[in-house]
Structure 1
Amino acid sequence: MDRSTLIIAIAGLALVLGTLRLLRIGRRPKGYPPGPPTIPLLGNIHQMPTKDAHLQFQAWAQKYGDCYSLMLGTKTMIVLSSDEAVKELLDRRSGTYSDRPELYIGQTLCSDGLRMLMMGYGSHWRMMRKMVHNLLNQNIAARYVPYQQLENQNMLNDILDTPNDFLHHIRRYSNALTTSMVFGWRTPTYEDAKMQQLFDGFSEFADINQTGPAALIDFFPLLRRLPDFLLPTKAKAKALHKAERELYLGHWLRAKEEIRNGTISQCFCVGMAQAQEKDGFSDAQAAYISGTLLEAGSDTTSNTLYAFVQAMLLYPEVQREAQEQIDRVVGKERLPTMADAEKLPIVRCLMKETLRWMPTTILGAVPHATNADDTYKGFFIPKGAGVLNNVWAINMDPKRAPNPREFRPSRYESDHLSLFDSASNPDGSKRDTFTFGAGRRICPGMHVAERSLWLGIARLLWAFDIAPMEGVDGKPVIPDQDKLTQGFVCMPEEFPARITPRSPARAEIVRREWREAETKLLDRETKQWLSNPIRI
């Protein structure tokens, strides 16, 4: 064989081998968990839903089991759809399952690698997580009640004034709570420009990361080399990061200045400034740590309370039963407080059922990832695979919750555990809800969220009746409980509701309590705290 023939033969063999290798992309290797049929190159990408993804992921779980796989171009996604699978892998094997998949659009371009939520598992993440835990743990979280009580009083008064804007008032409540606890100042009005930017940024972040181009860039890394004009999603992500970084850095630098001046109220940033001096992380990193907490606290709490309002509108018999218990325990002369919690089990049941019935992190927000090969039920799970916590499918499992789309708080009558203690239960079948995640990535703010939700639910029911709004035809407008917004964090599609005070006397108590708090605790001009209400 002459030299030219040999070269042609080698080139031909290389082409064949390259083609075969290319055609393996998207195929499900033998031994992987089962899943829907694949096609070359794309795998299951062409089957990924663009809307209501939770329903498709639930349908696949019903067909392929509680641990199935999706082949997404060059990547593998393992979907866990039972309490048993989540407890075994994300909790018990958390050392293997606490990483994150590479998220080029969400973490690299939108966040410059700084967003703690999407950061890979390593020493840097562990340092930040430990700091967040130390500043938001169960003992510290209990001391933030003065912030929660004040913002709740403000929310109730706002709903009395403009009840049709109840979503705005719920959002201001959750945002002001979070800015107070994280930065030491409050958001006094819904019209606050920085709060508007925050919620608009949520929406834009979800839109960018749910686009087809974003997924293709993640699943086919070679595409990242294309110029921005061919992939406008890249340019949008960079622009969002620029605006977001400016917002978060402005918040953090303001907090640092107030710490230096001795004018800041006790908050997360006080402890983070001390940690920064010790560990030396950058202002940009500190801005994104505090910004991530701001995102999480503002969005998830407000979405859950909004879902609760819808549930009371759709299930009036549940509302009446809860109000009867609150009236027996609290009476008509005062608002409920956290001191009433043990005597008001119905409120705990309502909170847990809302988190189950309408989980805001409907597909677990951001997938985990493996940092080593593993096996489960005889299936091979490769290193680097994404691992999705299929929250909707687990919460809607009829074995866990018969008739799961019915809002039924009585499911939790015998459950007296806090959200965190329930998540720590070694028996996954006894965990209340999977909305706050699992393993080492479980939400560090769940102690704070539990009190915020408890106060919101108890006081809304004490003060108001929630009923359908009448349409132009005189008939009640009944929202569809299965119509949800799209994105990493979701909520019911916007709906009207008629929210009225249960009596003139209760309305006056709401107004009096807010007037007294506003006069005694807040500056008349700025509506900020006159003095530090918390000692830590």
Structure 2
Amino acid sequence: MAFLTFLAAALALGYVCRCIYRVGKREAYLPPGPPTLPLLGNIHIFPRFFAHFQFSEWARQYGEIFSLKVGSANVIVISSAKAFREIIDKNSGTTADRPPNHFADTVTSGGLNIFLARYGEKWRSLRRGVHEILTPQASMNQRPLQDAESAQLMYDILRSPDDHFNAVRRFSSSLILSIVFGKRAPRFSTKEVTAFYHVQHIWEYLLFPGSFAPVDQIPWLKYVPERFARWKQVCREVRDLQRDLYFGLLEETEKRTSENGCFIETVIKRADEWGMDREMVGYLGGALIEGGSDTTSSLTNATVLAVTAFPESQRKAQEELDRVIGSSRAPEWEDLEELPYIRALLKEVHRFRPVAPLIPRAATADLTYCGYKIPAGSTIIANIWGILHDPEVYDDPEVFNPDRYMESDVGTKKDHENDIGQRNDLTFGGGRRICAGMHVAKYSLAINVMNLLWGFEFTPAKNAKGEEIKPDIWNFAQALASSPNPFQFTIKPRSAKHAEIIRQRFLEATPILQQFEHGISDDDAAFLSDIRSAASDA
């Protein structure tokens, strides 16, 4: 009897040991990947910062689709346009979910941030509102406002060229605030912009992988007392700051006596129709500010970095602008059809420095690709950087070269032209979660790039010896959105005539901008009065 008891215990222990040993081990049906360790899987080598670089290296080693083990969980990384098209676009119903994110759920009332929300009825309600209001046709209604804000951006740079970086960030923040809540930001120091960037910095730090305990991978950590779990304090801080800003703006919009056609006015009227309560309305508006502020400014600043570091691209762009537009007027949207090099440059910016180098999804059902199984519940990471920087697909991918899109609509080597299909917008995602604001974002980038290259000359700064300081094209912030850190360069108007047209366009934009200036602070109103008077007197 004792022997049987011992045998049963030994068998049980063996079974437990075998189960533990298998945790972290890659199943045979998964795509290949780096060697794993028991229990850990690949946690010990999972990159924390600039993960897209390491993922791209592994893609060259293990193929267009590879897997990582995070304990017993699966992470599937796809790094080819073909895999993206098959898994994200064609299997959209299965790959429209997001990975679980306890921090996001805690901060946003159970996951009401449309960009982080799980795929379900709440997300569909949020998406329905955004989709109906940001269609390509509806997005065209925002163009006069985008032109007007771009006119102030040009004048801000003309007045204070050394503050170019923040001038671009003001543009993107003011534009999305106006579109969503009907209230613009005349300065980078406007209280709503200051509040946004303050909370956004903490929010991104909270969401950044590895910043805090892996609660989603180890669920029992949710029950650790707050004094031992700093992430709980940070969640509460972010939640309070976001609610003060987002719901404060919502309340202002609700109380405004005259409408100006902003997004939230429409959402409030149709909230019941779309199945949205006030919490959903407030967080929808806030999430759109998050998405619209960083993306446009990051891409615009990345363009300035690129044309400064690769002056040949700037020269060709300005030659085309001078030939088609000249110096007697500024560019308009309709000019883009006659500017093939500018169109190529815009495509190259998205390829060269994609604002979202990694796009996370989650599988809601099993699917297969090239004989490999992607189990339900797997996290799927679309490695956009790896796709757009594959040396097998693109010549010299680390060189900013718009000419590649002059030679081919998709910019690839000839034998890879069919890889990407007809899509030149992978940076906006795909399938059911493709970015609904992509049409507004594309227009903002296009009008800014045309204006900036038409009106200004960008050259590297010089050191004390008069030697050029070559811009560092790799100096990007460690953040969820890929954004260049401030860099040294010289910016000046291309001529006195260009400068005069910039001043005149800023003054002409006044009536449009004034529609979104009710409720601004006395300091902001005084600032606008001063710069408009200065522009009139110049």
Q: TM-score, normalised by structure 1?
A: 0.91
What's the offset of the Cα at 1:135? Answer: 0.3
Distance 1:404 1:426 in 2: 18
Residue of structure 2 equivalent to 1:342: 337
Residue of structure 2 equivalent to 1:281: 276
Instruction: Give secondary structure in 1 for the equivalent of 2:486.
Output: coil
What's the offset of the Cα at 1:202? Answer: 2.6
What's the offset of the Cα at 1:11? Answer: 5.3
Q: CA contact under 8 A between 1:23 and 1:41: conserved in structure 2?
A: yes
Distance 1:519 1:374 in 2: 54
Structure 2 residue ranges without an equivalent (≥5): 411-416, 529-538
Distance 1:328 1:348 in 2: 15
Distance 1:468 1:156 in 2: 20
Residue of structure 2 equivalent to 1:128: 126
Counterpart of 1:79 (choices 77, 80, 98) is 77
Residue of structure 2 equivalent to 1:377: 370
Distance 1:211 1:397, change over 3 A: closer
Distance 1:335 1:46 in 2: 54
Instruction: Give secondary structure in 2 for the equivalent of 1:482.
Output: coil
Distance 2:84 2:496 in 1: 49
Distance 1:118 1:23, change over 3 A: same
Residue of structure 2 equivalent to 1:482: 474
Describe the superposition over 1:373-415 as per-residue Cα deviations: whole angstroms up to 9, x where unpaired: 1111111111000000101100101233210011111222266
Describe the superposition over 1:307-346 as per-residue Cα deviations: whole angstroms up to 9, x where unpaired: 0000111111111111111111111111101121211122
Distance 1:75 1:412, change over 3 A: same
Counterpart of 2:495 (choices 497, 500, 503) is 503
Q: CA contact under 8 A between 1:177 and 1:186: conserved in structure 2?
A: yes
Residue of structure 1 equivalent to 2:285: 290
Determine if the alignment matches structure 1 residue 182 to structure 2 residue 180. yes
Give the AA of the match of 1:398: P
Describe the superposition over 1:107-153 as per-residue Cα deviations: whole angstroms up to 9, x where unpaired: 33466411111111122212221221110010000111111011001
Query: After the TM superposition, which residues 187-206 of structure 1 pair with which residues of structure 2 at under 5 Å, given as runs?
Result: 187-206=185-204
The worse-fitting range, judged by mean Cα deviation, of 229-238 and 55-64 is 229-238
Query: How many aligned residue pairs are there?
Result: 515
Distance 1:457 1:213 in 2: 35
The worse-fitting range, judged by mean Cα deviation, of 449-458 and 191-200 is 191-200
Query: After the TM superposition, which residues 108-119 of structure 1 pair with which residues of structure 2 at under 5 Å, given as runs?
Result: 108-109=106-107, 112-119=110-117
Describe the superposition over 1:337-383 as per-residue Cα deviations: whole angstroms up to 9, x where unpaired: 1121211122221111111101111112xx11111111111111110
Residue of structure 2 equivalent to 1:325: 320
Structure 1 residue ranges without an equivalent (≥5): 418-424, 530-536
Give the AA of the match of 1:283: R
Residue of structure 2 equivalent to 1:455: 447
Distance 1:321 1:297 in 2: 30
Residue of structure 2 equivalent to 1:437: 429
Identity fraction in percent: 36
Residue of structure 1 equivalent to 2:534: none
Distance 2:26 2:109 in 1: 32
Counterpart of 1:271 (choices 266, 269, 274) is 266
Describe the superposition over 1:452-476 as per-residue Cα deviations: whole angstroms up to 9, x where unpaired: 0010000001110001112234322
Distance 1:428 1:211, change over 3 A: closer
Distance 1:520 1:49, change over 3 A: closer
What's the offset of the Cα at 1:430? Answer: 4.4
Q: CA contact under 8 A between 1:395 and 1:433: conserved in structure 2?
A: no
> RMSD of the TM alignment (CA)?
2.3
Q: TM-score, normalised by structure 2?
A: 0.91
